[in-house]
Structure 1
Amino acid sequence: MKNKILNMRPEVLMFFILISAVAFGNGLSDAVYSNYFKEVYHVTAFQRGFIEFPREMPGLLCAFVIGSLGFLGDIRLAFIAQVLATVGVTFLGLLTPSFGVMLIFLFINSMGMHLFMPLQDAIGMSLADPKMIGRRMGQFSSVRAIFSLSAALLVFFGFRVGFFTFQTKIKWIFIVAAGAFTCATIMAAIMIARTKPKKTKARKTKLVLRKQYRYFYLLTILHGVQKQIAYVYGTWVIVDLLMKKADTLAILTIVVGFISIFFFNILGKWMDYFGIKRMMYVDALTFIGVYIIYGFVVWGIISEVLPKQGYAIWIVYLLFVLDRLSMQIGMVKSIYLRSIAWDHEEVTSTLSMGISLDHVVSILAAFAGGYIWMNWGSQWVFFMAAIFSLGNLYVAFRVQPDKEREVAEKMRSLLLHNKET
């Protein structure tokens, strides 16, 4: 292990440190927002859906921001992203603002977090050996999982012993998160100064929409629905229906984080071994199965067929863990995009466009989910997600990765020839 670290390229090691700090900061902020909203602002399920508008709007704007600032290069954009994340969470920690002002700082923090989403995949894939992209991406994800787990442990013990609480004027958990984002900001600055020019090469400023990437776009749109169900309403089942506190969510996050350390490495190897198409089938079938079971369990709890204690709670906890793990299989779509990209300089722009499409749907799904929860019953939120996940199955059936890769390689050769002439 020591030899592997010593032999690692400096830019790869620095990127490992950067994503570790970001994962730790996110684990101390984004992971506890549901409890923060509930305990400080006493929001209802409908208001919880409304909060997703300013929280997800940065994702909608992601393609336009990255498109307009693309000339700076990926690493400089990563630096800006960490500055925004730091500023937003710092003010949430120092102040207990009115609901409207809180949404502004939440927006700033969220803008930084969302900008980094496509950048971390783009930078990570650019640093990986082309023949081992899946494995390297799995390693990056495993490291993120380790620091997310560390953050979850700190959340759990912090809230249990009273060091962290949402009842004081200063929310120390957000201050510690700001410290982590500050470390990420510093590391991004060092990467700008020390990485080779080709790694910080500026891209053309453009938005990318190609017919050839249609299945990638469809997967990101479907991910927008699934993400809201997993991270908002899956969590809300535990917070609102089961009335659990932040320490319970922390324990579940610890479990997810611990499993993820090993799961991501295995997943990365599966990506390289089984190929994109088979992993897309796994992705689709996992989502469909989890959300159908989720819907029936939630229906059982609210109709009192199942109790709000005992084995029913453990089933919800198991589904929560499986749902979070299944979300990670979605990394296949980024690897799929890179394999079929006509120009590798388009990868970041296309990923950011995917994030924007994802968040258009996320915002709509947040409002729709809140309305359905309040008027039709919370179980229908999960049944809706299962129906949408049939789209993943359709994509898995339709894609032809090998053929699309051959076309992409020909187009890259043609584009390179045109640039040289």
Structure 2
Amino acid sequence: HVRGRRRRGLIFLALAVGAVGFSLALQMGLNANFVADEMHLTGLEQGLLETFRESCGIIALGVLALLAGLAEPLVGAGMLVLLAAGLSGYAFVPDYLWLVLMSLLWSQGLHVWMPLPRSMALALAEPGRTGRRMGQVQAAGAAGMGVGLLAALALVKAGVRIRPLYVVAGAAALLGSAACLGIPRRLKTPGPRFVLRRKYGLFYALSFLEGWRKQIFIAFAGFLLVKRYHTPLETMLLLWVITQGIGWVASPLVGRLIDRVGERKVLALYFSCLTVFFVGYALVRSVPVLYGLFVIDNAFFVFTMALATYVGRIAPPSEHTPTLSMGVAMNHVAAVTMPLAGGLLWKYLGYQWTFLIGAVAAALSVLVALKVPPRPDGVRKPAAPAGADAAD
């Protein structure tokens, strides 16, 4: 009976994550061409837009506190309605101001949603299989993204313009909201919604540095390909399709790798590779090589699930969601400032410096990841699984 509830909850969670993946696939796949070709933003304007949008990550922590006590699936359903409204609004924005306003709307919904799937996956996973279950849920998101990108690619080839595709993205987010209503509402995290403890310091530091590095990629990698190298929309969508195909295959494998070797080795490998990638963005001039960097860098994001499994290992169940939420906030402290800094560097020193500060963040992350303690022996076969069940 308990196994059936777990399985049902995981299925609906995977459906919700897949629908959100479909929606975000369109946003991410269209974004660089939309802001560069449709809205004609400069590098500085793009950085400023991302700074506004990422400020929602800080606000999300307060929103989660205000909604404490509500079932996490209900909170998720409400936030996905905001995501749907904001993305649909992109179809009608007339100028930069309205672009910022719609970005704030969908971004706020997304950022409150962000810690919830991982928290719910931790609660629904069987003892000793958190990495595998999280990998499966993340694979559902990658599959949704793949389907969304293929749909967008087909529609673009059929002559559909970029703006109507944002209405499709909004509709997918609404389906994700409906799927959340099928997740067991008993998934309420007791205790405070804010957790700031010294013992989670490495997680906070890695979240901060990942926000620094990730936001440089999100704000400027695709923008570089479109603005400087004039990459057409169809090509950008194809790059995203390849990325998500890799992610769909890799997510369960990375989850098993985390269960097998632990978070320290996985995170050290991840950040070491990212350091090389960002130096490549700054120095490489070959467009095919840049396309390859874009795909591999993007696909490597699946490794960040090691941050969540690390929290699942060191934090009691009552602190999973508030700790992950604090990680989101730490992530966005960097994410708010880095796009503006990157935009200023792009304008006054050249785009190379924008990516070099991302390389610095990745290199620092390697040093921090090496301080993560290894998993104790036997962690994959807990001595007291009943205690872990009680966490659910």
TM-score (norm: length of structure 2): 0.91
- Counterparts in 2 of 1:6 and 1:70: CA distance versus 1, 3 Å: closer
Per-residue CA distance 1:37-85 (angstroms, 9 max, x = gap): 2233211011000101221111121211112212113212111111111
Give the match for residue 130 of structure 1.
Answer: 127
The higher radius of gyration belongs to 1
Q: Does 1:313 align with 2:287?
A: yes
Q: Deviations over 1:67-121 (max 9, x none)?
A: 221211321211111111112122223x233321231121111111111111111
Q: Distance in 1 between matches of 2:5 and 2:106?
A: 35
Q: Given the superposition, is the C-alpha separation of residues 244 and 397 from structure 1 closer, same or farther in structure 2, using an over 3 Å criterion? A: same
Q: Which amino acid is 1:179 matched to? A: A
Q: C-alpha separation between the residues in 1 aligned to 2:30 and 2:351?
A: 21
Q: Does 1:372 align with 2:370?
A: no
- Whole-Å Cα distance in 2 between the matches of residues 7 and 88 of structure 1? 33
Q: Structure 1 residues 162, 129: closer, same or farther in 2, change over 3 A?
A: same
Query: What does 1:16-415 align with in structure 2 at a 5 Å threshold?
Result: 16-93=14-91, 95-163=92-160, 165-166=161-162, 171-191=163-183, 195=184, 198-199=186-187, 201=188, 203-297=190-284, 301=285, 312-341=286-315, 343-402=316-375
Structure 1 residue 130: Cα displacement = 2.4
CA distance in 2, matches of 1:365, 1:331: 22
Task: Give 1:11's aligned amino acid.
Answer: G
Q: Select between 395-404 and 378-387 the one with higher mean Cα deviation.
A: 395-404
Change (3 A) 1:256 1:377: same
Quick one: distance in 2 between partners of 1:330 and 1:339? 15
Once residues 230 and 405 of structure 1 are traced to their aligned partners in structure 2, the CA distance between those partners, rounded to angstroms, is 37
In structure 2, C-alpha distance between the alignment counterparts of 1:202 and 1:117, rounded to whole Å: 15
For residue 18 of structure 1, report the CA deviation from its aligned partner.
0.9
- Secondary structure, aligned partner of 2:181: helix
Return structure 1 stretches of 4+ with deviation > 6 angstroms. 5-8, 403-406
**CA–CA distance in structure 2, aligned partners of residues 388 and 118 of structure 1:** 22
Indicate the SS of the match to 1:259.
helix
SS at match of 2:196: coil
1:343-380: CA deviations, max 9, x gaps? Answer: 21111111111111111211211011111112222112
Q: Distance in 2 between matches of 1:43 and 1:149?
A: 27
> Quick one: distance in 2 between partners of 1:353 and 1:404?
29
Secondary structure of 1:209's counterpart equals coil
1:189 maps to amino acid: L
> What TM-score comes out, normalization by structure 1 length?
0.85
Percent identity of paired positions between Structure 1 and Structure 2:
25
Distance in 1, matches of 2:272 and 2:189, equals: 39
Contact 1:48/1:370, CA 8 A, preserved across alignment: yes
- Quick check: 201-210 or 270-279, which moved more? 201-210
Counterpart Cα distance in 2 of 1:267 and 1:206: 29
Secondary structure of the equivalent of 2:186? helix
1:398 match: secondary structure: coil
Matches of 1:19 and 1:216 in 2, distance apart?
24
Contact kept in structure 1, 2:210 and 2:365, CA below 8 Å = no
Question: Is 1:62–1:353's contact at 8 Å kept on the other side of the alignment?
Answer: no
1:139 Cα deviation from its structure 2 partner: 1.1
Answer yes or no: is the 8 Å Cα contact 1:79–1:189 preserved in 2: yes
CA 1:29–1:370 in structure 2 vs 1: closer, same or farther (change >3 Å)? Answer: same
Gaps of 5+ in 2: 387-392
CA distance in 2, matches of 1:405, 1:75: 32
Is residue 24–residue 151 contact of structure 1 (8 Å, CA) maintained in 2?
A: yes
Partner of 2:390: none
The one-letter amino acid paired with 1:325 is A
Work out the CA distance in 1 between the residues paired with 2:64 and 2:117. 13
Q: Is the 8 A contact 2:83 2:108 kept in 1?
A: yes
**Separation in 2 of the partners of 1:238 and 1:14?**
36
Distance apart, 1:326 and its partner CA = 2.1
**Distance between the aligned counterparts of 1:218 and 1:45, measured in 2?**
28
Unaligned runs of 5+ in 1: 302-311, 414-421
- Which fold has the larger relative contact order, with Cα–Cα distance below 8 Å and residues 6 or more apart in sequence? 2
How large is the Cα RMSD of the aligned pairs?
2.3
Say whether the 8 Å CA contact 1:73–1:203 is kept in structure 2: no
- Residues 354/153 of structure 1: CA separation in 2 closer, same or farther (3 Å cut): same
The 1:190/1:265 distance shift into structure 2, 3 A limit, reads: closer
